[in-house]
Structure 1
Amino acid sequence: MKDFFTAIGRGDRQALSALATEDIEWIIPGEEWPLAGTYRGHTGLADLPDTASRSMETSTEPREFVAQGDRVLAVGFASGKIKATNKPFEDDWIFAITVRDGRLTRIQEHIDTLALARAAQRDASGPV
């Protein structure tokens, strides 16, 4: 898990792919902020760091890992800003991660979607 978060922080697409199964699914909830959606396979996984770096500046810190069987819960904190609006955000998060044969196969984020949507909102006229 620590290698996974290090690879995310570096935007290291090759390391992320090496840590994940071919059929990985990464689900990021929400609708009104740049990273919301479901990313599938190594292609989706490779696109995520690029999408993130184009749309936001962020620093994420995993603070705790809880493992049971093939599941790992990573609990952490992120802060940053949405580039299009220059608005900051803070986000406590939990990643529910499923591991198969030592590789990540599913990531379900549980995040503060309202904080991220508010940071992505340009003005009273609506979201980015």
Structure 2
Amino acid sequence: MLVERLVARWAAKDTAGLSRLFADEVRWWTAPVPGAPWPAEVHNPREVESFFLAFRAVLELTGITTRDLLVDDADAVLTGRLHARVRATGAPADFDFALVVGVHRGLITDFRMHTDTLAIARALARDVPPVSP
């Protein structure tokens, strides 16, 4: 399954191989993260690779734990947790995620990654204030 290959290549830090899983035109969405160096807009495999290279530049991925995978025809939703280390500080950083992936002709055409953006922003920049209850 394509989603499993996506996770395997991400975990293996194979950004070039990961980008080859995407179609020439990609509909992409990730929530903006203050202080993150990765591009907000991604449209093609080259930009997919740039996104994951920028991600790796600040967060060293140490593992991915998957929880649930739901597949409906050409769409899939994967939930799990990213385990990383902040390169600048060495601090551990773990984030829950939900990936929504659409596939057409064996390639990823839609990619939406939902993450805890506040936790990521706090890990990248220590000056993000806490949220009041």
TM-score by length of 1: 0.83
Give the drift of 1:11: 2.5
Query: 1:111 pairs with 108, 111, 115, which one?
Result: 115
Give the drift of 1:90: 1.7
Q: Which runs of 5+ in 2 are unaligned?
A: none
- Whole-angstrom CA distance in 1 between matches of 2:84 and 2:99: 18
**Taking every aligned residue pair, what percent have the same amino acid on both sides?**
20
RMSD value over aligned CA atoms? 2.1
- Whole-angstrom CA distance in 1 between matches of 2:39 and 2:50: 13
Aligned to 1:63: 67
AA aligned to 2:53 is D
Query: How many pairs align?
Result: 125
AA aligned to 2:124 is A
- The aligned runs of 1:115-126 (5 Å cut-off) are 115-123=119-127
Say if 1:17 and 1:50 are closer, same or farther in 2 by CA, change over 3 A. Answer: closer
- Whole-angstrom CA distance in 2 between matches of 1:79 and 1:11: 13
Task: Give the secondary-structure state (helix, strand or coil) at the position aligned to 2:41.
Answer: strand
Task: Give the secondary-structure state (helix, strand or coil) at the position aligned to 1:61.
Answer: strand
Aligned to 1:24: 26
Aligned to 1:15: 17
Q: Which runs of 5+ in 1 are unaligned?
A: none
- The aligned runs of 1:59-98 (5 Å cut-off) are 59-98=63-102
Say if 1:18 and 1:121 are closer, same or farther in 2 by CA, change over 3 A. Answer: closer
Deviation larger for 70-79 or 26-35: 26-35
- Whole-angstrom CA distance in 1 between matches of 2:19 and 2:85: 26
